[in-house]
Amino acid sequence: MRIRNPFRKKKRQSALQFIASEEARQRHELTDAEIRGRMERIDHDFRLAFKLLKGHPSTVSFFGSSVIPETSEYYAHARKLSRMVVEQLGLTVVSGAGPGIMEAANRGAYEANGDSVGIAIQLPHEQDTNSYVTRSANFYYFFSRKMALTFTARAYVFFPGGYGTLDELFEILTLKKHGKIPSIPIVLVESDFWNPLHHYLEKTVFEKTKAITKADMDLYVITDDLDEVLNIIAGKGI
């Protein structure tokens, strides 16, 4: 009788073997109930977006980090610009409804007695909707939330942020490049944050790799001048 040695090391798998076994373990056929549940969630999100944005045909969407503190100059600039958008252009301000830059944007609009819309997302660790929104909705999927953030916008304003902000920026740039959304302004505020990214795109992605074109480098504007941002939104700056 052969006795198994419990301390004997298992035969090491290659990386490809490990990936294949994990895929096989995790793979399963979607049931009709799962498909139906997902479709219902997607339908609910999109109906929510259209209902929320009805009556707000012209908006300015603000993007930026949720961890920027109230003491930051980025927060102060987003708050001021949002107030200017309401007071001087009479437009609705839309944000992701969270803290940080999103709060600053909603706060500026709220303080100017304007429409301050929040497009929130359900997360495992709940992110509270900031207290400066006048209308808000909570979305299940990120992709439907992003659609709502961009659907009625006449300009996209980006402040410093992390992966989420960069994801939103590059998706909008891609959609604009391929004509999938109207050719409306994309403005990156705070040059100290955005210039290093611009330099990388210009020197590495465009000049060295040639993965984008010269025209792609002109899809956005970087500025620190809030009056210039306002003129761009109003259609006077480009």
Q: Dump pLDDT digits (tens) for 104-152.
A: 999 999 999 999 999 998 876 656 899 999 999 889 999 999 998 888 8
Q: Specify if 3 maps to a domain.
A: no
Give the phi and the psi of residue 139 in degrees, each rounded to 5.
Answer: -105, 150
Full-model pTM: 0.84
Taking the C-alpha atoms of residue 49 and residue 137, their distance in angstroms, rounded to an integer, is 8
Q: Is the pLDDT of residue 73 over 90?
A: yes
- Is 155 part of a structural domain of the chain? yes
Contacts of 145 by beta carbon, 8 Å cutoff, 6+ apart: 45, 96, 119, 120, 121, 139
Residue 2 lies in a domain: no
Q: What is the domain extent for residue 101?
A: 58-190+221-233
pLDDT greater than 90 at residue 205: yes
- pLDDT of 206 > 90? The answer is yes
- Closest among 219, 89, 210 to 158, alpha carbons compared: 219
Confidence band (pLDDT; 50, 70, 90) for 194? very high
For residue 99, give every residue at least 6 positions away whose Cβ sits within 8 Å of its Cβ, in sequence order, or none: 66, 67, 127, 128, 130
Total of domains in the chain: 1
CATH code for position 177: 3.40.50.450
The C-alpha atoms of residue 79 and residue 60 are separated, in whole angstroms, by 13
